Chains A and B, each alone.
Chain A
């Protein structure tokens, strides 16, 4: 308290009646705000609905067996199909899975179970993965073109495409697997170690089996990202009108998103419907994979 200049006896404050703690029942501001937020959510969901409806309607005239029985053709759109693209996608994704899943899961085990966070190189690996996850996919295309296709002279083949896509989704696999491994409680590791198991025995017999559902879910989602990816493969020679299915790693190829892109760039009406039909197939594959991931998550996930 400072010096009391001009002391005045303050009048006792007039006591108003205590206000009710409950506010007015209807608050327009609150309701309007809530409605606004709901609209924000609706934007995305309505957009998705319109997109799917539009694609289905446009695809309808071409959604028949021609699509998977015939090969792409630029001269006779009414007989064109996407068989080589469907098989190309299967080839490329199978090898992508073969390359990126073991590497990604191993890297995740290292980072979660072995890496000492105080070492600069482990922190660098981690930062690096976070950055790679946000590098534009077309940059991976440039990497594949410059390093794999040209320097290592692998050419524009199924092998180059699947290696490039593996590197592209590797960060996703690592991040998802790490989360699954981290979710396994420490007590299980400690119990195993206390019983005399070595660190690797603990990981192989206790941690990994417990983390498999999470890892599988993350892996499926990562692969579904690879399936939809077109930008890097544009640079890697995925040609649009391939009239044969891939026969090996050295084979030329096309994939569904690239085939769709090729059809979109054609101006004739028939190609527009073909593009939509191709999109329906692509979305159907993705939906199946997502459903599998959700089923895995619900069926096998454990609450600790």
Chain B
């Protein structure tokens, strides 16, 4: 802070507005608060620092091409292969299934809450959606494994044997429901930020409510909606318990969602249980997969944050 140096005339005259003496206590408090804020930066640094050394060790034995290009993942077997594609493929397949549920449903819910619901309805429905977001993921996993999968197997319309006991489909469907609140609430925020003048303009031209919602409000809020979806993708990629419980422990490279498959998070959860010796290669493998997961979700988060910034700048 550079305060202008006001030289008060000696003796009489108004007293300077400058503070009389430096307040060291205030400075100390501000410093402490800054340290608390820096804990979050330290967390990010900690994540990177804890990921890098074991990952570097990992890539001394397994080449990057083998890791990213290999189609066989048997890291915990006696003859290990370290091709991450089966894990990556399973993660992507389950994410696609989850998004196929969450994007349309979440967007529909957001349009209703933002454009149709009056204040009382919204006050009742929004907390219900928030409860959905607060259900622990281990509960979703239990539900996917012991309710959704049996129903899918029961109702499977013939052709083949139907879904496996653990499969990507039920994990993806349940994960989709888990992500609905994320997409609905962020999209609704974006829609609420669209100025009423745009709506009024469209009404004045004779549009009905549906046209105003779909052709005016949604396009105007698009970057916010896309940001919500990207954040949803990031959550789906990082979700662990649902896939560890409901989608299986065998890494298979397939696009058939009825089969059991293991995701990146599923592998970390499986390999990390129990005491893994630090020197073992297994331990390093966990960190290598974790590093890949961190990089992917980091890119998603940065895209999402940027998009949110963009729409804020336009309408506020």
B47 proximity list for chain A (CB < 8 A): 135, 139-140, 142-143
Option from B41, B132, B239, B300 in Cβ contact (under 8 Å) with A44? B132
Q: Which residue of B lies closest to A286 (CB)?
A: B134
A275 proximity list for chain B (CB < 8 A): 142
Q: Is the CB of B235 within 8 A of A139?
A: no
Q: Interface-forming stretch among A46-54, A60-68, A75-83?
A: A46-54
Q: How large is the interface on B (under 10, 10 to 19, 20 to 34, 35 or more residues)?
A: 35 or more
A164 to B177, CA, bound (A): 27
Q: Which residues, 39 to 91 on B, are CB-close (under 8 Å) to A?
A: 39-41, 43-44, 46-47, 49-51, 54
Q: Is the CB of A110 within 8 A of B301?
A: no
Max chain B C-beta neighbours (<10 A), residue from A143, A237, A260: A143
Q: Interface-forming stretch among A5-13, A35-43, A242-250?
A: A35-43
Cβ distance B265 to chain A, nearest Cβ, rounded Å: 5
Q: Is the CB of B265 within 8 A of A103?
A: no
Report if B34 contacts A (CB, 8 A). Answer: yes
Q: Provide the main secondary structure of the chain A interface.
A: helix
Report if A284 contacts B (CB, 8 A). Answer: no
With contacts A142-B47, A228-B135 taken as known, whether A40 is within 8 angstroms of B238 at the C-beta atoms is no
Report if A98 contacts B (CB, 8 A). Answer: no
Q: Is the CB of A30 within 8 A of B272?
A: no
Report if A234 contacts B (CB, 8 A). Answer: yes
Q: Which residues, 132 to 151 on B, are CB-close (under 8 Å) to A?
A: 132, 134-139, 141-143, 145-147
B238 proximity list for chain A (CB < 8 A): 135-139
Q: Is the CB of B240 within 8 A of A225?
A: no
A257 to B238, CA, bound (A): 18
A114 to B51, CA, bound (A): 33
B40 proximity list for chain A (CB < 8 A): 107, 125, 128-129, 132, 170-171, 174
Cβ distance B55 to chain A, nearest Cβ, rounded Å: 10
B226 proximity list for chain A (CB < 8 A): none
Option from A48, A125, A132 in Cβ contact (under 8 Å) with B37? A125
Interface string of B270-305 (1 = CB under 8 A from A): 001111001000000011001001100110111011
Report if B217 contacts A (CB, 8 A). Answer: no
Report if B195 contacts A (CB, 8 A). Answer: no
Report if B198 contacts A (CB, 8 A). Answer: no
A134 proximity list for chain B (CB < 8 A): 231, 234-235, 297, 300-301, 304
B41 proximity list for chain A (CB < 8 A): 124-125, 128
Cβ distance A269 to chain B, nearest Cβ, rounded Å: 11
With contacts A110-B30, A132-B40, A171-B40 taken as known, whether A44 is within 8 angstroms of B269 at the C-beta atoms is no
Option from B23, B25, B125, B265 in Cβ contact (under 8 Å) with A231? B265
Report if A111 contacts B (CB, 8 A). Answer: yes
A130 to B297, CA, bound (A): 13
Q: Which residue of B lies closest to A168 (CB)?
A: B43
Option from A51, A140, A198, A261 in Cβ contact (under 8 Å) with B23? A198
Q: Which residue of A lies closest to B136 (CB)?
A: A228
Q: Is the CB of A110 within 8 A of B136?
A: no
A72 to B240, CA, bound (A): 24
With contacts A41-B108, A131-B305 taken as known, whether A110 is within 8 angstroms of B269 at the C-beta atoms is no
A206 to B122, CA, bound (A): 32
Report if A212 contacts B (CB, 8 A). Answer: no
Q: Is the CB of A136 within 8 A of B127?
A: no
Q: Is the CB of B111 within 8 A of A44?
A: no
Q: Is the CB of B301 within 8 A of A135?
A: yes
Q: List 30 A-B contacts (CB under 8 A).
A: A37-B109, A40-B107, A41-B125, A44-B105, A44-B128, A45-B129, A51-B139, A103-B39, A107-B36, A107-B39, A109-B33, A111-B37, A132-B44, A134-B297, A134-B304, A135-B297, A138-B269, A142-B50, A142-B287, A147-B50, A228-B138, A231-B240, A234-B272, A235-B268, A235-B273, A261-B141, A282-B139, A283-B135, A283-B139, A290-B134
- A interface with B by C-beta (< 8 Å): 23, 27, 29-30, 33-34, 36-41, 43-45, 47-48, 50-51, 54-55, 58, 102-104, 106-107, 109-111, 114-115, 124-125, 127-132, 134-143, 145-147, 150-151, 156, 167, 170-171, 174, 198-200, 221, 224-225, 227-231, 234-235, 237, 239, 257, 260-261, 264-265, 272, 275-276, 279, 282-283, 286, 290, 294
